[in-house]
């Protein structure tokens, strides 16, 4: 049981990193809530980003895969 607990505790980041990540997560949550409130209050139209997000995902993945190490022959 002790080995399992050590593995679980070891999989989480150190305390200084936890605090830093928590700050960023809270800031992103506050920003998301603010944007949601503004969109709902101002009655802004909702835009369907389906095709555009697919294109952007393809471009980003293609860019990242271009940096993948090629096996030596």
The two counts, helices (H) then strands (E), for the chain are 3, 0
How many residues in total does the chain contain?
73
pTM: 0.48
* pLDDT at res. 34: 95
* pLDDT at res. 37: 93
Query: Are the C-beta atoms of 13 and 21 separated by less than 8 Å?
Result: yes
Which of 3, 25, 2 lies closest to 13, judged by CA?
25
Q: Distance between CA 62 and CA 70 in Å, rounded?
A: 15
Which of 63, 47, 66 lies closest to 55, judged by CA?
63
Dump pLDDT digits (tens) for 16-73. 777 788 889 899 999 999 999 998 898 888 778 888 889 999 999 988 888 776 666 6
């Amino acid at each position: 049981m002790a080995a399992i607990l050590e593995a679980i505790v070891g999989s989480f980041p150190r305390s200084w990193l936890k605090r830093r990540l928590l700050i960023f997560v809270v800031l992103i949550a506050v920003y998301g809530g603010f944007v949601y409130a503004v969109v709902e209050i101002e009655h802004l139209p909702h835009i369907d980003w389906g095709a555009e997000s697919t294109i952007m995902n393809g471009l980003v993945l293609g860019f990242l895969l271009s940096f993948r190490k090629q096996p030596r022959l």
